[in-house]
Amino acid sequence: MEILLIVIFVLGYLAIAMEHSLKVDKLIPALAMMAILWALIAVNHLEVFDIIPGVGKESHHLEGVLLHHLGKTAEILVFLMGAMTIVEIIDYFDGFATIKSFIKTKSKSKLLWLFTILAFVLSAIIDNLTATIVLITILQKIVKEKETRLWFAGLIVIAANAGGAWSPIGDVTTTMLWIANKVSASQLIEHVLIPSILCFAVPTFIASRMKIFKGYIDAENDDDKTTPKYSSLIFYLGLGSILFVPVFKTFTHLPPYVGMMLSLAIVAAVAEFLSNRKFSMGGATSGDGDGTIDHHSPVHKSLSKIEMPSILFFLGILMSVAALESLGMLFDFAGILENNVPYLGTEHASTKISDLVVLLLGAGSAVIDNVPLVAASIGMFQIGMDEPAWHFIAYAAGTGGSMLIIGSAAGVVAMGMEKIDFIWYLKKIGWLALIGFLAGAIGFVFIRDFLLNVVH
């Protein structure tokens, strides 16, 4: 039965990869795969588990495990919806014109460095998902040529994932390691910052020398366009509200989506006030009083523009992976890797995890979600806090997903916003992401095995 489940997952994954060849939207195989996997588990009464950090697999009832995974997935989806809505509200007031006014260069190579550096920094402060949403929205206002914009978006994904890997709030996997007391914020930054810089800077440098980034962009003339009155206010309020989310989490210890909902409520209230729209408990109404929804409301307008196909696709992917995780298959696979792959680097007293295993986990995060892989690692590897292996896992899991467009939340969002083809990304951007991933990994090993040994 487990073989059948793996076959279904592989077939579903291939259907997603061949979306344009099959002319079937990617959310369809993702949702179908999710439903079929969980249905087979239920009908065949397969034993399901939770991965308990420091303990391993613990058997539970199917309904409880399903609700657990749905809850964890819903946290991500609600957070995503809140962030996307805030971005759309900013766009409703043309708030991104504020950043556009700062961008004076028309050089493609300079714009590439500007966008990737912004992605790297913003993803560490907020998170790689939100940073990607913001920057691709700005990109759509500046770069009009579709093919060029796809290349920019691909490099933004690489930079955003690299930026999230060295910050405890930059990526969900680093946050997991931080909350589980596997890494401290200061040590994570110290050990992973330089490898993360290499991970985005090397691909950006190579791409900047390519023909696609030679010359200048063809920008439309904005001289005759007037900027809405409150665009700057909404822009700074929107980004400030997103920056408020990790602060809210620090003080309340509540999941990030709670703070995002509070931020959305504040931004939406200000947006409604500034647009002079009235709303009641019964819902907003049109001017003629017929009870229909007023789609001129900035909130309703923004909600209608959310990429719901991407949300549903993300639901299908995460819950499909959760099905395999609930059977303990990911946990067992990681154990096989640990027992059969030799250690390639310098042997540390308390670190018995092969560098090759960590690299394989990073590569695996491009195929399946990095969250369950890191969750399995937390429960499997019995090593102390701030051991080098945890920092390497944070780097590999955070950046490995860049090699495939569906390998990270940032990639999935970029795929939805720009309609990026899976095969196109694999051919054009995947090899750049691989070079960056390996460059950062080499940098990490060099710092750990040579520089730290010199210091000590």
**pLDDT tops 80 at residue 415:** yes
- The answer to whether the beta carbons of residues 114 and 156 sit under 8 Å apart is no
**Residue 386 confidence (pLDDT):** 80
Average pLDDT of the chain to the nearest whole number: 80
Which comes out higher in pLDDT, residue 328 or 3?
3
Per DSSP, the residues of 147-203 read HHHHHHHHHHHHHHHHHHHTSTTTSHHHHHHHHTTSS-HHHHHHHHHHHHHHHHHHH
Across the range 246-258, mean pLDDT stands at: 82
- The answer to whether the beta carbons of residues 210 and 203 sit under 8 Å apart is no
Across the range 118-132, mean pLDDT stands at: 84
- Tokens 């043309």 label which residue? 94
For 72-107, the pLDDT digits (tens) are 888 878 887 888 888 888 888 888 777 777 777 788
Q: What SS3 class is residue 230?
A: coil
Which comes out higher in pLDDT, residue 138 or 261?
261
For 340-368, the pLDDT digits (tens) are 665 554 444 344 567 888 888 888 888 76
Q: What SS3 class is residue 107?
A: strand
DSSP state of 216: B
Most trustworthy range by pLDDT among 13-27, 159-173, 362-376 = 159-173
Q: What is the CA radius of gyration of the chain?
A: 22
CA distance linking residue 250 with residue 253, whole number of Å: 6
Work out the angle at residue 253's Cα, subtended by the Cα atoms of residues 247 and 255, and round it to the nearest 5 degrees: 90
Which stretch of 37-41, 329-333, 398-402, 421-425 has the lowest confidence by average pLDDT? 329-333
CA distance linking residue 172 with residue 127, whole number of Å: 8
CA dist 155 → 167, 309, 311, 356, 391 (Å): 19, 23, 22, 26, 24
User: Domain-by-domain residue ranges, the chain?
Assistant: 2-217+228-249+305-455
CA distance linking residue 448 with residue 392, whole number of Å: 10
**Residue 352 confidence (pLDDT):** 53
**Residue 350 confidence (pLDDT):** 40
**Residue 289 confidence (pLDDT):** 47
Six-digit token string for 8:
């279904």
Q: How many CA atoms lie within 13 A of 294 on its CB side?
A: 20
Across the range 306-321, mean pLDDT stands at: 82
- The answer to whether the beta carbons of residues 354 and 382 sit under 8 Å apart is no
Which stretch of 44-58, 212-226, 298-312 has the lowest confidence by average pLDDT? 44-58
**pLDDT tops 90 at residue 200:** yes
Which comes out higher in pLDDT, residue 322 or 227?
322
CA distance linking residue 418 with residue 392, whole number of Å: 31
Predicted confidence band at 296 (pLDDT cuts at 50, 70, 90)? low
- The answer to whether the beta carbons of residues 123 and 409 sit under 8 Å apart is no
